[in-house]
């Protein structure tokens, strides 16, 4: 009976998503609103697995989290790009700099791409790449890439253990989310032709095999597919 109720709840939830959000998000702001809805019955953060309430306030006790210095950002979730915007935007012309027809009002970087590049806006609003994270951890990560860091010291945020090499600008996430992270990178590479080095490709394929998707990730994937309607979302999460 409990299983039947769970199945019915899932089906009704998927139908409600389809009725509420029939089109992919148009920009990052809209993507965050949709993402909050997709995670409504699984309010758990990336990396540390902390619960949060409807206002986005973190329950530190739920995961044994202990903040270090970014106290305000540690209290709330932020919607993190698993593949950072810098990674998928830095090779675009808008990131390097563009000007208007008169050669004035020049800009560059993320804000410039948001204004001028539709392809960037689509990547930035990609729901398969957007996950709630504790703001303090998001601040720590910035745009560092992921890697196994055997020699790096462990940073302990209470029970949340993370390795960071600031000099190399690398971060090793907890093993519990390595598979999810890997599948996000592989998906972004496939869907948007974002190049991965041979080393990165091998690492993420290894993480994908070593850490297969759990039930929530599959549910999340199904919900994203309803909103975005792209088949590519399922290719790395089956």
The pLDDT > 70 percentage for the chain reads: 87
Largest distance between two CA atoms of the chain: 68
Average pLDDT, the chain: 89
Quick one: pLDDT at residue 20? 52
pLDDT value for 23 = 73
Calpha distance 85→167 (Å, rounded)? 20
What is the pTM for the complete model shown? 0.87
Count structural domains, the chain: 1
Q: Which residues contact 172 (CB under 8 A, 6 or more apart)?
A: 146, 147, 148, 149, 152, 162, 163, 164
Domain span at residue 150? Answer: 2-234
| Distance from C-alpha of 164 to C-alpha of 166, rounded to nearest angstrom | 6
Between these two residues, 21 and 141, which has the higher pLDDT value?
141
Is the pLDDT confidence value at 15 over 60?
Answer: no
Task: Quote the tokens at residue 155.
Answer: 């940073």
Mean pLDDT calculated for residue range 123-129? 97
Please state which of the ranges 9-23, 70-84, 154-168, 179-193 shows the lowest mean pLDDT: 9-23
Q: Give residue for tokens 């990730």.
A: 217
Residue 105 pLDDT level (bands cut at 50, 70, 90): confident
Residue 226's pLDDT is: 92
pLDDT number for residue 100: 76
Q: What per-residue confidence (pLDDT) applies to 64?
A: 98
Q: What is the pLDDT of residue 98?
A: 86
pLDDT mean over 82-102: 91
- For the cut 50, the answer to whether the pLDDT of residue 189 exceeds it is yes
Residue 9: pLDDT above 70?
Answer: no
Question: Quick one: average pLDDT of 136-163?
Answer: 96
The residues pairing with 40 across neighbouring beta strands, listed in sequence order, are none
């Amino acid at each position: 009976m409990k299983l039947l109720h769970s199945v019915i709840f899932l089906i009704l939830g998927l139908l409600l998503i389809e009725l509420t959000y029939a089109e992919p998000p148009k920009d990052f702001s809209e993507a965050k609103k949709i993402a909050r809805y997709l995670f409504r019955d699984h309010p758990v953060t990336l990396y540390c697995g902390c619960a949060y309430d409807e206002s986005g306030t973190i329950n530190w006790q739920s995961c044994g989290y202990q903040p270090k210095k970014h106290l305000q950002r540690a209290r709330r979730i932020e919607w993190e790009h698993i593949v950072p915007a810098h990674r998928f935007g830095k090779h675009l012309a808008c990131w390097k700099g563009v000007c208007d027809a008169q050669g004035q009002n020049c800009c560059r970087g993320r804000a410039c791409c948001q204004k001028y590049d539709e392809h960037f806006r689509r990547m930035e609003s990609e729901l398969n790449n957007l996950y709630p994270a504790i703001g303090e951890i998001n601040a720590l990560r910035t745009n560092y890439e992921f890697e196994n860091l055997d020699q790096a010291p462990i940073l302990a945020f209470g029970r949340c253990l993370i390795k960071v090499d600031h000099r190399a600008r690398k971060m090793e996430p907890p093993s519990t989310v390595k598979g999810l992270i890997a599948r996000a990178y592989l998906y972004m590479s496939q869907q948007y032709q974002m190049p991965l080095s041979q080393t990165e490709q091998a690492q993420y394929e290894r993480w994908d095999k070593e850490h297969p998707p759990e039930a929530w990730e599959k549910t999340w994937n199904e919900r994203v597919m309803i909103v975005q309607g792209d088949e590519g979302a399922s290719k790395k999460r089956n």
